[in-house]
């Protein structure tokens, strides 16, 4: 196994269920030239949870392909400052063997704010 495929230590269900994972719809995508690694600034509508922003290293997707896309995000991890930008949630995806991100996608009938669990 490569480092990215190594299993993490076992954790309790309480740790997992403490995360608030929701469906959101991408509202806007902007270049983020200040980031150390290529990234976008992304705003996502999470329905009743509001509109949140994040920095994401998903530049293997053209920005126009991300607009209006349904995504999955963890919205209760707290804020983090990245190159002067406040990231408010973690967008979820998987990494392939080359390190490219593949965003998790809910079914088309999902709605912003739907709980993932």
- Segment holding 115, helix H or strand E: strand 115-116
Q: Is the pLDDT of residue 5 over 80?
A: no
- Segment holding 55, helix H or strand E: strand 51-56
State the pLDDT at residue 4: 56
Q: Using one digit for the tens of pLDDT, what is the confidence trace for 40-86?
A: 999 999 999 999 999 999 999 999 999 999 999 999 999 999 999 99
d(CA 22, CA 74) in angstroms, rounded, equals 6
**Cα separation values, 55 from 64, 106, 115, Å:** 16, 20, 22
d(CA 58, CA 77) in angstroms, rounded, equals 19
pTM, to two decimals: 0.89
- Using CA atoms in the order 60, 65, 71, 75, what is the torsion angle rounded to 10 degrees? 70
Would you tell me how many other CB atoms lie within 10 Å of the CB of residue 45?
15
Length of the chain: 117
């Amino acid at each position: 196994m490569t480092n990215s495929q190594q299993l993490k230590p076992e954790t309790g269900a309480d740790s997992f269920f403490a995360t608030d994972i929701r469906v959101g719809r991408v509202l806007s995508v902007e270049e983020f030239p200040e980031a150390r690694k290529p990234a976008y600034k992304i705003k996502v509508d999470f329905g009743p949870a509001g509109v949140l922003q994040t920095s994401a290293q998903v530049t293997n997707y053209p920005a126009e392909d991300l607009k209006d896309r349904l995504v999955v995000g963890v919205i209760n991890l707290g804020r983090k400052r990245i190159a002067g930008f406040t990231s408010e949630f973690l967008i979820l995806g998987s990494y392939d063997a080359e390190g490219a991100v593949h965003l998790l996608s809910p079914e088309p009938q999902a709605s912003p704010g739907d709980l993932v669990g």
